[in-house]
Chains A and B, each alone.
Chain A
Amino acid sequence: MLPDSSAQVGASTERFSAAYRELSPRVLGYLRSHGVDDPEAVTDDVFLALHRRFGSIDGGDNGVRTLTFSIAHARLVDSHRARARRPMHVPFDAEDDPRRSASAEDDAIDAVGGGATALLTRLGDDQRQVVSLRVIAGLSLEETAQVMDRSVGSIKQLQRRGLESLRSLLAQEAIDV
């Protein structure tokens, strides 16, 4: 007897919703930690792209997570390339604007501290990507290598250097305070 197609569609929708609930904050955090313009819109775009390929994903939840961050990583690279092509603009520094009011995201980050992510942004691009994929996205060493299209050995090396840099920055912060 063939399975009810409506039940399949319902199950797929439910699975996609669960993936969004679980992964969307991580995707947004990953994009924000790399300074992507309008990270909310890019997050939305990532999940729309994921939905188009959702029926053909192998590997269960790990497969969904790996594909999600593969798409997010590709969008991040695209964003950096687009930014490099754009003419140089003098950025508006909201900190210097007395009319500034904090966004909901800023409030949320301030509520949980916010300094730790600022340290992450001081790492080099590759190290930051590896550490954020491991810490924020929760990917394994192999999955990180797959997303960044690198060998596991090079990821391991970048990870070690990134963590050592963070430790140095943390020590520097302690000295400054």
Chain B
Amino acid sequence: MSDPLDELLAESELHDDLALRALLGDIQREATAVRPMPSAELISLMTPRRVRRPETTRRASGARRAAIITGITLVGVLGLGAGAAAASPEARSMIGAGVAVIAHLFEPAAAVNAPAATEGSTPSPGTVQSPEPSGPATPSPSGDASGADHSAGKGEGAGSQNGASNSGSPGQSGATHGTGTGNQSGTGTGTSTGNQNGTGTGTGTGNQSGHGTGPGPGAGQGTGDPAPTR
């Protein structure tokens, strides 16, 4: 194969021009005399390296591990937050007050006006008055309130109360009226604002579910506002 420069001159019918041939040779030599220095990025591209397949596996297991750690951390943080809120009296009182406000908003007018009929102890905000002992519930043709009753109603017997209820008196009705905000379960009679589940007799405002027997005396109030109705 002939020299590219000779070929070039021949294509242009200048193959006999020796001065031009020498000039083209000089141009070629001068232009290619300087070798550029590659950048760091190019050097890295030109550096031989092996494909490491296990690294991919390690990276995948690392991602899984990171997800597990993140999940555990999240659960821990949420648990700490919930624990701190439950342990703090301020947080409890704030929650109680909040529930009281909400319960007050949904209270029927009769329950709001009930304090006039207060019997015995004076209700105070944030307290649940202990109901009168009522004994076991007796079946009554008119008092079967099974299922969920989301209204002010009467019921007597065992039940559970959800809502803000404070300062209960254990033993008065064979029921447990605990102190605190939360769920209250047991047997009792009373009027309450909140959720009442189970079997009970009394007058309540809120959600009531369970089995109830007949009209009967009910005492107790939720969140302090309503007075027990009997």
The answer to whether B29 touches A20 (Cβ under 8 A) is no
Evaluate whether A48 and B5 lie within 8 angstroms (CB atoms) in the complex, with A10-B50, A160-B12 already known. no
CB-defined contacts of A135 to chain B, threshold 8 Å: 5, 8, 24, 27-28, 31
Q: Quick one: which of A129-165 are within 8 Å of B by CB?
A: 131-132, 134-136, 138, 141, 156, 159-160, 163-164
Residues from chain A with a CB closer than 8 A to the CB of B27 are 116-117, 119-120, 131-132, 135-136
Number of interface residues of B (CB under 8 A): 36
**Other-chain residue from A26, A43, A159 in contact with B32 (beta carbon distance below 8 A):** A26
Count of chain A residues with a beta carbon within 8 Å of a chain B beta carbon: 52
A109 touches B12 (CB 8 A): no
> What's the minimum C-beta distance from B54 to chain A, rounded to whole angstroms?
12
Instruction: Report which of B20, B32, B36, B48 forms a contact with A14, defined as CB distance below 8 A.
Output: B48
- A74 at the B interface (CB under 8 A): no
User: In the assembly, what is the distance between CA of A116 and CA of B47, in Å?
Assistant: 36
Bound-state CA distance A170–B41 (Å) is 42
Say whether chain A's binding surface is mostly helix, strand, loop, or mixed. Answer: helix
Which chain B residue shows the least CB distance to A134?
B8
- Beta-carbon contact of A25 and B45 below 8 Å: no
Contacts of A16 in B (CB 8 A): 45-46
The answer on a CB contact under 8 Å between B48 and A29 is no
Query: Quick one: given A20-B46, A112-B29, A117-B30, are A25 and B20 in contact (CB under 8 Å)?
Result: no
A-B contact pairs, 22 of them (CB 8 A): A9-B49, A14-B48, A16-B45, A20-B42, A25-B32, A26-B31, A29-B30, A29-B32, A40-B37, A44-B36, A47-B38, A48-B41, A48-B42, A109-B30, A112-B30, A117-B27, A119-B27, A131-B27, A135-B31, A164-B14, A167-B19, A170-B20
Taking beta carbons and an 8 Å cutoff, which residues of B are in contact with A? 4-5, 8-9, 11-14, 17, 19-20, 23-24, 26-39, 41-42, 45-51
- A residues near B (Cβ < 8 Å) are 5-6, 9-10, 13-14, 16-17, 20, 24-30, 32-33, 40, 43-44, 47-48, 51, 104-105, 108-109, 111-117, 119-120, 131-132, 134-136, 138, 141, 156, 159-160, 163-164, 166-167, 170
